[in-house]
Structure formats: C-alpha cells, structure tokens
C-alpha cells in the first residue's frame, strides 16, 4: 500500500481520531508525563480496531457498452458470412436470422430495452459470437467430408435446423422485448386513468 493510500485509509483515520483523543487527555492533564505513549497507544488501538479496507468492485462493462462491442462483432460476423458459400435454403434462413439480429442490435428503442435485459444481451452475444459461426463452420468442414462418403445425411439439413432453432430463439427474445414495451404502455395508461379519477 502506498503512503498516499494509507493516509486516506480507514485505519489511519480511526488511528488519528484516537490519537486526537490522546492529545485531548494530554491537554487536560490526564495523560501525565507519559503522554507520547498514550497518544501513540491510542493511535495504534484505533488503527487496529478500524474495519478493513474493502477492495473496489470490478468495473464490468455496462449492458450498453456490451451491446456496442456486440455490434462490432456482428459486423465481423457479417464479413465472415459474406465469404461462405451456402446452399439456397440455408442462405435464406441465415438472411432471415441476420435481419432479425440487425433489428435487435440496431441502436434505438429495441436496444434500449435490450440494455436493461442482461439475459437478452447474453443470448444475442452467444448467438453472434458462438452459435452462428460454429454452425456455419461445422457445415463447411462437414460438407467436404460428405463428398467422400456419399449416402450420409447431408450437412445442409443440420445447418438449416440449427439456423431455424437460432431464429426461434431470437424471435422469442424479440417477443419478450415487445411484451415488455406493451406492459409499459398499459401501465402508463392505467396510471393516467387513475390520475384522471
């Protein structure tokens, strides 16, 4: 601990208060000739009984800052997806999903609501940073092996199913945000009706 930190610490403040009590005892004549020992002893006692310093809370990014990072990562994902050759059905499903994610991440009312929903931010983060890249990359890798083993289940089916599940999850999130906004509107209406009575 640096000297400046100690000077501002609880231990030093409590010790200094107790040391001032010792000086007051000295000036009233109660400490006698041993006043330096009394003042130092009271300072030490105050420093010992002071509550320990609390470590500062970690400075985690706010949900709004997390959304900004997620928008940047979504841009990187878009650049990656533009380079991948997908079958038409999967490409259409992926387009629908990315359009929905774009709407959810677009700065505005949806992202304001989303910033108040850490679980929603986590869901979108997992979808953008993990689920979509893994689904597409697995398809690309598996497609090559399927050519060597004809007759196996085509990887396009798995990709389409994965993208469908991800879209359903994103739609549930959008529905939850819409319901939150609807409840807010209903609450405001009830408030105005009660105020009018």
Q: pLDDT tens-digit profile of 102-135?
A: 999 888 777 788 888 888 889 999 999 999 999 9
Each residue's pLDDT tens digit in the chain (197 positions)? 677 777 778 888 888 898 898 888 888 888 788 888 888 998 898 888 888 777 777 887 777 788 889 999 999 999 999 999 999 999 999 999 999 999 998 887 777 888 888 888 899 999 999 999 999 999 998 887 776 666 677 888 999 999 999 999 999 999 988 888 888 889 989 888 888 87
Do 19 and 74 reside in the same domain of the chain? no
Do 94 and 141 reside in the same domain of the chain? yes
pLDDT at 3 (0 to 100)? 77
Report the C-alpha gap between 120 and 124 in whole angstroms: 6
Cα atoms in the 13 Å half-sphere on the side-chain side of 131: 21
Residue 56 lies in a domain: no
Do 73 and 109 reside in the same domain of the chain? yes
Q: Which of 75, 21, 13, 79 is nearest to 50 (CA)?
A: 13
Do 41 and 71 reside in the same domain of the chain? no
Residue 100 lies in a domain: yes
Per the CB < 8 A criterion, the answer to whether 86 and 159 are in contact is: yes
Model-level pTM? 0.66
Other Cβ atoms closer than 10 A to 9? 16
Per the CB < 8 A criterion, the answer to whether 37 and 23 are in contact is: no
Do 119 and 184 reside in the same domain of the chain? yes
Do 32 and 71 reside in the same domain of the chain? no
Do 27 and 97 reside in the same domain of the chain? no
Structural domain that includes position 35: 3-49
């Amino acid at each position: 601990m640096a000297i400046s930190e100690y000077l501002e610490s609880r231990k030093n403040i409590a010790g200094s208060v107790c040391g001032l009590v010792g000086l007051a005892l000295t000036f009233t004549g109660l400490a006698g000739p041993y006043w330096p020992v009394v003042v130092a002893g009271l300072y030490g006692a105050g420093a010992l009984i002071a509550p320990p310093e609390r470590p500062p809370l970690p400075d985690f990014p706010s949900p709004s800052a997390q959304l900004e990072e997620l928008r940047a990562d979504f841009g990187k994902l878009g650049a990656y997806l533009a380079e991948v050759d997908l079958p038409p059905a999967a490409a259409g499903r992926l387009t629908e999903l990315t359009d929905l994610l774009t709407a959810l991440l677009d700065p505005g009312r949806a992202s304001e609501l989303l910033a108040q929903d850490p679980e929603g931010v986590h869901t979108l983060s997992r979808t953008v940073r993990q689920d979509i890249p893994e689904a597409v990359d697995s398809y690309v890798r598996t497609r090559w092996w399927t050519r060597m083993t004809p007759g196996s289940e085509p990887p396009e089916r798995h990709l389409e199913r994965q993208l469908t599940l991800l879209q359903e999850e994103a739609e549930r999130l959008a529905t939850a945000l819409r319901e939150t906004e609807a409840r807010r509107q209903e609450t405001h209406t009830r408030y105005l009706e009660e105020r009018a009575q």
